């Protein structure tokens, strides 16, 4: 059997939209992973539909390229892990970093070090990984390379980097155009300097090949033919197909025993079967039915588990319940609580940043996670799989300090906004109990404002923020800490228009309702009692009849039959709907529709519940 190739294991970390997936595309092309005539989609690593649509990386994915240094006849295998840039998916990042020996920190030459860069980089530096800094998009007309490098250095100092980590190498690159250089003024070339820097600077895995086999599961997925597939790095020893193995939990208890029925390693975008794997290899392993993320898979003689990285706790929760609206079961194929429970339990196994609790009535589930985006992606995925759900307003998870006082999660919020809108943003954030910690001009008529804000105050603010800034503002959020409870925060100011019956929306009825506020439904849409059809211009809720038809008579007069012209209704995305609803409201999610409704559909029952709440 041929000798294994020299190995390098690296993770690429960056803020959302700083270009890491595009850079990986170019690494594929220039290493010869793709044939010259092979048709490959852009952002090949963003393989799931939601990632393609949103342009963000949601799932961490390993891949590998082989590159032969100049003057050498032996290739080096570089295992690359493309990590999510959004802090909501940080559970992925924290585990992934235990698989690698070095990191490439990618920063945009204009935006610089952003809050989510701070999140992942802090985790990497704490593990002792030495970063290679790549300033990407150097061809941007608004690049400010030197200031960005100063920001990166300041960030490392803030994160308590050691002297070795502070002495980081720097490359200047354009991932889209496929070049990297140590010269900041160069605007052409290839990525050879980056390949060379990885080989020279990232150490090979310093692991014991002769010790018994151990492996820490960091990712879990399912295959229709192989069953459970665990992905991670071999920490010691060698494993061959059909070797006996067993899984240990964090306390060293044996969960199950079995055999390694299939071993796969990553070659480009594909998983390729192999007969054996050695310490340092990143592999996928099939053959176990119960073992999950953070479990140790090892040879039968191993009794001590590998220590897994602790995961930051969830900060936000939503209630997922069975859809009980009058339209339930019309569009989805998976509508029972048992199906929802099974699907959520599967998600909880593979996504360690999510916690699931079943309610006493067995019809709803409390799902806690990192943020609205993470839970929104889960709901959207379930919706596409045919599920029907009722989703409650997000609520933050409170804690307690040592004196028994209530604490709540705080976030660092960095906002880039045109100078003219800065005052409005500061005013709105102050209403939400946010404290401004920094404000500075960022060039090009823009201001960068940093706040420390309770997460509770930010729920539902993003839509209002985009309206206030005419769609030009950019908001980045990152969980910071648990701090003192800030008291009552004002929620949505406007009430809603509620349908008082079942039927279809009629133009004759919707015309006058437009004067009351903004409509969410159009002509011909099916409605039911308790469904929210629009936003009231006043603070109170208003029950209306959007199905009222014109009374036909024998008399006609001029002007009576003028065509009714309606403004197009406001159509909300899933995230906008979840952020919009109030505590007594829900979002009905089906494969084809997103509807807003009151949690209690019957108006009399609603009034009773409201009186009880006021009395309490």
- Are 87 and 374 in contact by the 8 Å Cβ rule? The answer is no
What would the mean pLDDT of 235-257 be, rounded to a whole number? Answer: 88
Looking at 16-25, 188-197, 409-418, which range is the least confident one?
16-25
Q: How far apart are the first and last CA of the chain?
A: 75
Note the helical H segments in 404-558: 422-431, 455-458, 461-468, 507-513
Three-state secondary structure readout of 163-208: HHHHCCCEEEEECCCCEEECCCCCCCCCCHHHHHHHHHHCCCCCCC
Per-residue pLDDT at 310 exceeds 70 = no
DSSP-assigned beta bridge partners for residue 222: 228
Burial call 221-258: b when 16+ CB within 10 Å, e when fewer = eeeeeeebbbbbbbbbbbbebebebbbbeeeeeebeeb
Checking if the pLDDT of 38 tops 50, the result is no
- Given a contact cutoff of 8 angstroms between Cβ atoms, the answer to whether 178 and 187 are in contact is no
For residue 49, pLDDT beyond 60? no
pLDDT confidence tier of residue 512, bands split at 50, 70 and 90 = confident
Task: Give the contacts of 450 (CB within 8 A, at least 6 positions apart).
Answer: 412, 413, 414, 415, 436, 437, 438, 439
Q: Model confidence at 498, in pLDDT bands (50, 70, 90)? A: very high
From residue 109, alpha-carbon distances to 30, 91, 161, 512 in Å are 23, 27, 22, 52
Pairing of strands 76-82, 395-396: unpaired
Rounded Cα distance between 412 and 477, Å, is: 6
For 85-94, 270-279, 591-600, which range has the lowest pLDDT when averaged over its residues? 85-94
What pLDDT is stored for residue 294 in this prediction?
Answer: 78
Look at residue 96 and tell me whether its pLDDT is greater than 60. Answer: yes
pLDDT at 443 over 50: yes
What pLDDT does 552 receive? 64
Q: Lowest mean pLDDT: which of 44-48, 185-189, 247-251, 512-516?
A: 44-48
Strand segments (E) across 268-388: 270-274, 276-278, 282-286, 296-298, 316-322, 355-358, 364-369
pLDDT band at 90 (very low <50, low <70, confident <90, very high): low
Whether pLDDT at 51 is above 50: no
Look at residue 57 and tell me whether its pLDDT is greater than 60: no
Nearest residue to 383 (alpha-carbon basis) of 583, 588, 613, 87: 588
**What is the rounded average pLDDT for all residues in the chain?**
81
Contact indicator for 489, 432 with CB cutoff of 8 Å:
yes
Confidence grade of residue 553 (pLDDT, cut at 50, 70, 90): low
pLDDT in tens, 351-388: 777 888 888 777 788 888 877 777 888 888 888 889 99
Per-residue burial over 158-170, b = 16 or more CB atoms within 10 Å of its CB, e = otherwise = eeebeeebeebee
475 CB-side CA count, 13 A = 22
pLDDT at 40: 44
Distance set, CA 119 to CA 88, 372, 475 (Å): 11, 17, 16
Contact indicator for 284, 231 with CB cutoff of 8 Å: yes
CA distance linking residue 465 with residue 413, whole number of Å: 13
* 525 within 8 A of 504, measured Cβ to Cβ: yes
- The mean pLDDT value for 520-539 works out to 90
Query: What's the confidence (pLDDT) of residue 302?
Result: 86
Judge whether residue 309 has pLDDT over 70.
no
Model confidence band, residue 456 (pLDDT cutoffs 50, 70, 90): confident
Interval 142-173: pLDDT, tens = 888 888 898 888 888 888 888 888 888 999 98
Mean pLDDT in residue range 111-116: 73
Mean pLDDT for 561-578 is 80
C-beta of residue 541 within 8 angstroms of C-beta of residue 496: yes
Domains in the chain with CATH codes:
7-201 (3.40.50.300), 214-298 (2.40.30.10), 399-484 (3.30.70.240), 496-551+562-615 (2.40.50.250)
Question: Is pLDDT at 511 greater than 70 in this prediction?
Answer: yes
Coil/strand/helix, residue 578: helix
pLDDT number for residue 45: 42
DSSP secondary structure letter of residue 342? H
Binding-site annotation: residue ranges for GTP: 17-22, 136-139
What distance in Å separates the CA atoms of residue 436 and residue 142, rounded to the nearest whole number?
A: 26
Q: How many CA atoms lie within 13 A of 488 on its CB side?
A: 3
β-bridge mates for residue 7, sequence order:
77
CA-to-CA distance for 20 and 173, rounded, in angstroms?
Answer: 11
Confidence of residue 52 (pLDDT cuts 50, 70, 90): very low
How many Å separate Cα 426 from the centre of its chain?
27
Phi/psi of residue 80, nearest 5 degrees: -115, 135
Q: Considering only CA atoms, which of 165, 273, 166 is closest in space to residue 226?
A: 273
Binding residues: 17-22, 136-139
> pLDDT over 70 for what percent of the chain?
88
């Amino acid at each position: 059997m041929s000798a294994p190739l020299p190995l390098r294991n690296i993770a690429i970390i960056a803020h959302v939209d700083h270009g890491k997936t595009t850079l990986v595309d170019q690494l594929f092309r220039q290493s010869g992973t793709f044939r010259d005539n092979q048709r490959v989609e852009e952002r090949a690593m963003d393989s799931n539909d939601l990632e393609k649509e949103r342009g963000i990386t949601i799932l961490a994915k390993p891949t590998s390229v082989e590159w032969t240094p100049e003057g050498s006849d032996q290739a080096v295998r570089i295992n690359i892990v493309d990590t999510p840039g959004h802090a909501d998916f940080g559970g992925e990042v924290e585990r992934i970093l235990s698989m690698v020996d070095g990191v490439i920190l990618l920063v945009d030459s204009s935006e610089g070090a952003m809050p989510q860069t701070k999140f992942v980089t802090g985790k990497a530096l704490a593990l002792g990984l030495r970063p290679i800094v790549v300033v990407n998009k150097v061809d941007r007309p608004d690049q400010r390379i030197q200031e960005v490098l100063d920001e990166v250095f300041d960030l490392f100092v803030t994160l308590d980097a050691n002297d070795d980590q502070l002495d980081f190498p720097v490359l200047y690159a354009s991932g889209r155009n496929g070049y990297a250089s140590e010269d900041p003024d160069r605007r052409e070339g290839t990525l050879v300097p980056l390949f060379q820097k990885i080989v020279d600077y990232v150490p090979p895995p310093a692991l014991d090949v002769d010790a018994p086999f151990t492996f820490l599961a960091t990712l879990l997925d399912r295959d229709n033919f192989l069953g459970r597939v665990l992905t991670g790095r071999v920490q010691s020893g060698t494993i061959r197909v059909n070797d006996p193995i067993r899984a240990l939990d964090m306390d060293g208890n044996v969960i199950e025993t079995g055999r390694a029925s299939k071993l796969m390693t990553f070659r480009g975008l594909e998983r390729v079967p192999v007969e054996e794997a050695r310490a340092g290899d990143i592999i996928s392993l099939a053959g176990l039915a119960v073992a999950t993320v953070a479990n140790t898979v090892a040879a039968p003689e191993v009794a001590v588990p590998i220590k897994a990285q602790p995961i930051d706790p969830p900060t936000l929760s939503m209630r997922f319940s069975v859809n009980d609206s009058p339209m339930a079961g019309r569009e989805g194929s998976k509508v029972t609580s048992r199906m929802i429970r099974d699907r959520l339990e599967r998600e909880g196994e593979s996504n360690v940043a999510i916690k699931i609790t079943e309610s006493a009535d067995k019809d709803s589930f409390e799902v806690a996670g990192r943020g609205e985006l993470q839970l929104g992606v889960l709901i959207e995925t379930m919706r596409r799989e045919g599920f029907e759900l009722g989703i409650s307003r997000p609520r933050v998870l409170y804690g307690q300090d040592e004196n028994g006082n209530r604490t709540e999660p705080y976030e660092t919020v960095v906002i880039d906004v045109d100078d003219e809108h800065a005052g409005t943003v500061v005013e709105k954030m102050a209403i939400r109990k946010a404290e401004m910690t920094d404000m500075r001009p960022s060039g090009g008529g823009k201001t960068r404002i940093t706040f420390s804000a309770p997460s509770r105050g930010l729920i539902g603010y993003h839509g209002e923020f985009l309206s206030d800034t005419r769609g030009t503002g950019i908001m980045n959020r990152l969980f910071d800490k648990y701090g003192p409870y800030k008291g009552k925060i004002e929620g949505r100011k406007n009430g809603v228009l509620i349908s008082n019956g079942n039927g279809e929306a009629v133009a004759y009825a919707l015309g006058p309702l437009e004067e009351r506020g903004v409509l969410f439904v159009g002509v011909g849409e099916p409605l039911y009692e308790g469904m929210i059809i629009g936003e009231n211009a006043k603070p109170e809720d208003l029950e209306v009849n959007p199905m009222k038809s014109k009374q036909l008579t024998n008399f006609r007069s001029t002007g009576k039959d003028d065509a009714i012209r309606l403004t197009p209704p406001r159509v909300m995305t899933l995230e906008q709907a979840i952020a919009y609803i109030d505590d007594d409201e829900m979002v009905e999610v089906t494969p084809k529709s997103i509807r807003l409704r009151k949690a209690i559909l019957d108006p009399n029952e609603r009034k009773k519940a409201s009186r009880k709440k006021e009395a309490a």
